[in-house]
């Protein structure tokens, strides 16, 4: 009983700390002044000035939309609401990343589409595997610099497959997925190594040039003496 209470307490504390961390990130004061700039330009300035990490999929989130924003020491949450939410992009803080995803439109809701997002990392070191390939049926994408990916899939059972050079591929089956889901894919390093290469030397006979006559010494002795003295 005590162990259960302890585990519950630890889990609650972890959740509470994560929630506080998210609140702290979104409540920090930022300043930005942009007119008719792309969303990408605004996020780049915020990332550089305040050490923020934005993760998104280029296939799903369109950052070329133009926005104007003038904020002086305003909470980051307010700035992101103007820059992102007003353009159909939602955000969420997961760990040290601010995840960007498209807002589900009514048309997509009718088509019963949902978003699977997460990170692809080394199963041992936890290092992000940038460029890893993630597929689900005919849909596919690649992980960004932080190992983050975002993929739109139909509602229902989802099978993800992750691949990365030098690692064993990973398949994950998600049953009865009915809402946007975040996953973490851990790829183990491939244990397959190159076998020994055996090289066998094969003698090569090089034929003499066409203008050189090859004869044994005994045959030479039987030739007429064309030299001043006979061959010994």
Per-residue pLDDT reduced to its tens digit, 158-172: 889 999 999 999 998
pTM of the model: 0.48
Instruction: Please check whether residues 64 and 87 belong to one and the same domain.
Output: yes
Instruction: Please check whether residues 35 and 57 belong to one and the same domain.
Output: yes
**Domain-embedded: residue 220:** no
Contact 135, 160 (CB under 8 A): yes
pLDDT at 102: 84
Instruction: Please check whether residues 24 and 92 belong to one and the same domain.
Output: yes
Mean pLDDT for 201-221 is 47
pLDDT at 114: 82
Instruction: Please check whether residues 132 and 46 belong to one and the same domain.
Output: no
**Domain-embedded: residue 184:** yes
Three-state DSSP state, 67: strand
**Domain-embedded: residue 231:** no
Contact partners, residue 226, CB within 8 Å, separation at least 6: none
**Domain-embedded: residue 225:** no
Tell me the torsion sign for CA atoms 117, 37, 42, 129: positive
Q: Which of 103, 132, 159 is the last residue of a domain?
A: 103
Instruction: Please check whether residues 126 and 152 belong to one and the same domain.
Output: yes
Instruction: Please check whether residues 78 and 113 belong to one and the same domain.
Output: no
Instruction: Please check whether residues 11 and 62 belong to one and the same domain.
Output: yes
Q: Reply yes or no on whether the pLDDT at 12 is more than 50.
A: no
**Domain-embedded: residue 51:** yes
- H helices of the chain, where? 2-27, 39-50, 76-83, 106-110, 217-221
Instruction: Please check whether residues 78 and 112 belong to one and the same domain.
Output: no
With bands split at pLDDT 50, 70 and 90, how would you rate the model's confidence at 92?
Answer: confident
pLDDT at 2: 52
Instruction: Please check whether residues 174 and 156 belong to one and the same domain.
Output: yes
Mean pLDDT for 16-33 is 75
The CATH number given to whatever domain includes residue 165 is 2.60.40.1120
pLDDT at 211: 45
Tell me the torsion sign for CA atoms 219, 220, 226, 229: negative
Mean pLDDT for 86-100 is 85
Q: Reply yes or no on whether the pLDDT at 107 is more than 90.
A: no
Mean pLDDT for 57-71 is 87
Q: To the nearest 10°, the Cα dihedral for 27, 32, 38, 40?
A: -50
Overall number of domains in the chain? 2
Instruction: Please check whether residues 97 and 188 belong to one and the same domain.
Output: no
Domain containing 61 equals 1-103
Q: Reply yes or no on whether the pLDDT at 7 is more than 50.
A: no
**Domain-embedded: residue 218:** no
Instruction: Please check whether residues 8 and 69 belong to one and the same domain.
Output: yes
Contact 157, 172 (CB under 8 A): no
**Domain-embedded: residue 141:** yes
Per-residue pLDDT reduced to its tens digit, 119-151: 999 999 999 999 999 998 888 899 998 899 988
Instruction: Please check whether residues 69 and 83 belong to one and the same domain.
Output: yes
The CATH number given to whatever domain includes residue 80 is 3.55.50.30
Q: Which of 80, 103, 126 is the last residue of a domain?
A: 103
With bands split at pLDDT 50, 70 and 90, how would you rate the model's confidence at 201?
Answer: very low
Three-state DSSP state, 49: helix
Q: Which of 78, 103, 128 is the last residue of a domain?
A: 103
Higher pLDDT, 52 or 22: 52
pLDDT at 129: 95
**Domain-embedded: residue 232:** no
């Amino acid at each position: 009983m005590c162990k259960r209470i302890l585990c519950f307490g630890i889990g609650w504390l972890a959740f509470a700390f994560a929630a506080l961390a998210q609140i702290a990130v979104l409540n920090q004061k930022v300043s930005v002044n942009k007119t008719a700039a792309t969303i990408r330009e605004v996020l780049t300035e915020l990332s550089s000035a305040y050490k923020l990490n934005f993760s998104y999929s280029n296939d799903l989130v369109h950052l070329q939309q133009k926005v104007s924003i003038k904020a002086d020491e305003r909470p980051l949450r307010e700035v992101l609401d103007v820059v992102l939410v007003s353009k159909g992009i939602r955000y969420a803080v997961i760990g040290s990343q601010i995840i960007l995803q498209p807002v589900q439109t009514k048309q997509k809701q009718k088509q019963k589409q949902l978003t699977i997002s997460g990170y692809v990392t080394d199963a041992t070191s936890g290092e992000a595997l940038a460029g890893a390939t993630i597929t689900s049926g005919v849909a596919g994408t690649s992980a960004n610099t932080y190992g983050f990916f975002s993929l739109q899939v139909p509602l229902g059972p989802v099978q993800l497959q992750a691949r990365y050079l030098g690692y064993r591929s990973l398949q994950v089956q998600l049953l009865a997925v009915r809402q946007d889901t975040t996953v973490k894919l851990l790829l183990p390093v491939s244990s397959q190594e190159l076998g020994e290469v055996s090289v066998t030397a094969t003698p090569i006979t090089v034929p003499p040039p066409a203008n050189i006559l090859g004869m044994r010494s005994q045959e030479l002795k039987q030739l007429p003496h064309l030299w001043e003295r006979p061959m010994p």
